[in-house]
């Protein structure tokens, strides 16, 4: 988006709230990145720490994330919150890290906030003895491990200092619940609005014009170009959900380096540089947003050429958040219907403002941030049908309409 400065929530003199998000091989990237990004937007000082011997960690869906530091550098720090993302084997990597176990146990003993999502409550907190006498939720695939007296099926459960949640699809709710505990309800509500989260009870809206089929007779190849300033929530949501649906995703940096610095400080390593893709043909090209990144994507000559070919060959392309404006500037939207982040919608000639996802023929666009989940699932549904999208949504623990 339209980069929004972290809200100043506390008096200038108050120390910032410190949050630890540990990651390991196979950590669920949506959970880790949404937690870190949302808490940073609220003004927290978030440390993403690797429990591995290297800072670069390949997440569950293959996203390569670079941690800020090693867990060993955090052992004497006092955190206001320690929040464990899930995923497998990520949750087991966290469980096996003694330093993290000590930090989290001390957190619980000293009655500061701690939390876990997805597999992590059952796989890490349970064997550490940190779920005792606490109502707990977790991913449906792991809920059997929790004592049936304490297991609950709510999306997010607060029980004293402990907050637990169910999966990638409940990550926004989990993060907002933690923001509320650290910063209060007004801040949580404001951040929820900035994230374009759907108000509870409202069904997300998708509009389709000039309907055509997108199904292919082979594994779809998707290019996701990224740049410094890309919106990390959108990048990891697209990568994770498309790979869960068995799409072949290529993440390409338009920078000189494969590593980019995303808009809220997440470091992501692309699979390759954009110039190594110039001779490839992709079935889809999807641009994630981020104001600064949109400019940088727009300036890439190779991406411009790929997008132009995409359009003239009648192949699928799309964009989310601030990036539909890139397609507009490159003359690729023409008279098609599209949407974008509310702050850039007026840049589109024919912007649709009351749908989270808009499809017009082979063009797909979306508003941004929290709507990235619906955006990615809409792509899955167009490529493989509604049943595949529903089954991916089920794994995410994300409510997806029956039809």
Residue selected from 75, 105, 159, 259 as contacting ligand NAG according to rule CB under 6 A: 259
Tell me if residue 29 is catalytic: no
Query: Strand locations in 172-293, DSSP E?
Result: 206-209, 221-226, 248-253, 259-261, 267-269, 272-273, 284-287
Say whether 56 is catalytic. no
Q: Are strands 221-226 and 248-253 parallel, antiparallel or unpaired?
A: parallel
Q: Contact with ligand NAG (CB under 6 A): which of 197, 222, 260, 268?
A: 260
Tell me whether the omega of the peptide bond preceding residue 50 falls within 30 degrees of 0, making it cis. no
Q: Alpha helices, DSSP H only, in 184-253?
A: 185-194, 232-244
- Number of residues lying near ligand NAG (CB under 6 A): 10
Q: Which region, judged by CB under 6 A, interacts with ligand NAG, from 89-97, 270-278, 314-322, 337-345?
A: 270-278
Q: Which of 141, 194, 276, 292 binds ligand NAG (CB under 6 A)?
A: 276
- Which among 190, 202, 238 is positioned nearest to 368, based on CA atoms? 238
* Angstrom distance (rounded) from CA 351 to CA 339: 5
Among 45, 255, 295, 350, binds ligand NAG (CB under 6 A): 255
Beta carbon nearer to ligand NAG, 205 or 267:
267
Least separation, in Å, of the C-beta of 246 and ligand NAG?
29
Among 75, 207, 228, 330, binds ligand NAG (CB under 6 A): 228
Angle at the Cα of 341 (from 306 to 350), degrees rounded to 5?
75
Does residue 279 touch ligand NAG according to CB under 6 A?
A: no
Residue 105 or 259: which CB sits closer to ligand NAG? 259
| Tokens coding 162 | 């402990």
Closest CA to 151 of 165, 170, 137, 161: 137
Q: Smaller CB distance to ligand NAG: residue 259 or 330? A: 259
In this structure, the dihedral spanned by the alpha carbons of residues 179, 183, 186 and 192, taken in order and rounded to 10 degrees, is: -20
Q: Is 139 a catalytic residue?
A: no
Site pattern 175..214 for ligand NAG (x: CB under 6 A): ----------------------------------------
C-beta of 124 vs 254, nearer to ligand NAG: 254
Catalytic residue among 173, 234, 298, 311: 234
Pick the catalytic residue: 97, 118, 138, 321?
321
| Shortest reach from residue 318's CB to ligand NAG, in Å | 24
User: 322 with 265: CB under 8 angstroms?
Assistant: no
CB of 290 vs ligand NAG, minimal distance in Å: 12
Tell me how far, at minimum, the Cβ of 259 lies from ligand NAG, in Å: 5
Distances (CA, A) of 188 to 32, 98, 195, 238, 367: 18, 33, 11, 25, 20
Provide the minimum distance between the beta carbon of 275 and ligand NAG in the complex, in angstroms, as a whole number: 4
b/e burial code for range 106-145 (CB count within 10 A of at least 16 → b): ebbeeeebbbbbbbbbbbbbbeeebbeebbbbbbeebbeb
CB of residue 267 vs ligand NAG: minimum separation in angstroms? 6
Rounded Cα–Cα distance for residues 129 and 150 (Å): 14
Note the residues at the interface with ligand NAG (CB under 6 A): 228, 255-257, 259-261, 273, 275-276
User: Active-site residue numbers?
Assistant: 234, 321, 341
């Amino acid at each position: 988006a339209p980069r929004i400065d972290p809200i100043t929530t506390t008096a200038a003199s108050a120390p910032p709230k410190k949050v630890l998000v540990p990651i390991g091989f196979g950590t669920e990237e949506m959970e880790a990145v949404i937690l870190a990004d949302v808490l940073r937007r609220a003004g927290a000082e978030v440390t993403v720490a690797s429990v591995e011997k290297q800072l670069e960690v390949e997440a569950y869906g293959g996203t390569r994330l670079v941690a800020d530091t090693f867990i060993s550098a955090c052992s004497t720090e006092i955190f206001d919150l320690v929040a464990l993302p899930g995923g497998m084997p990520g949750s087991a990597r966290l469980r096996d890290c003694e330093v993290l176990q000590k930090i989290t146990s001390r957190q619980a003993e000293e009655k500061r906030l701690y939390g876990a999502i997805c597999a992590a409550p059952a796989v890490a907190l349970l064997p550490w003895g940190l779920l005792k006498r606490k109502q707990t939720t977790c991913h449906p695939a792991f809920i059997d491990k929790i004592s049936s007296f304490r297991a609950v099926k709510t999306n997010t459960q607060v029980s004293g200092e402990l907050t637990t949640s169910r999966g990638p699809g409940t990550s926004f709710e989990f993060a907002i619940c933690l923001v509320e505990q650290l910063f209060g309800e007004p801040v949580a509500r404001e951040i929820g609005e900035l994230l374009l989260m759907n108000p509870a009870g409202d069904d997300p809206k998708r509009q389709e014009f000039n309907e055509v089929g997108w199904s292919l007779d082979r594994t779809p190849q998707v290019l996701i170009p990224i740049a410094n300033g890309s919106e990390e929530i959108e990048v990891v949501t697209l990568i994770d959900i498309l790979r869960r649906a068995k799409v072949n995703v290529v993440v390409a940096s338009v920078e000189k380096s494969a590593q980019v610095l995303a808009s809220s400080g997440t470091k992501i390593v692309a699979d390759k540089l954009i110039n190594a893709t110039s001779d490839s043909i992709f079935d889809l090209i999807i641009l994630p947003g981020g104001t600064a990144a949109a400019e940088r994507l727009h300036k890439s000559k190779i991406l411009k050429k790929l997008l132009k070919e995409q359009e003239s060959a009648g192949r699928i392309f799309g964009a989310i958040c601030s990036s539909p404006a890139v397609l507009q500037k490159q003359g690729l939207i023409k008279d098609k219907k599209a949407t974008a982040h509310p702050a850039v919608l007026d840049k589109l000639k024919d912007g649709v403002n009351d749908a989270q996802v808009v499809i017009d023929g082979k063009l797909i666009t979306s508003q941004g941030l929290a709507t990235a989940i619906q955006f990615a699932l809409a792509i899955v549904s167009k490529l493989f049908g509604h049943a595949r999208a529903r089954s991916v949504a089920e794994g995410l623990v994300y409510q997806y309409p029956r039809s």
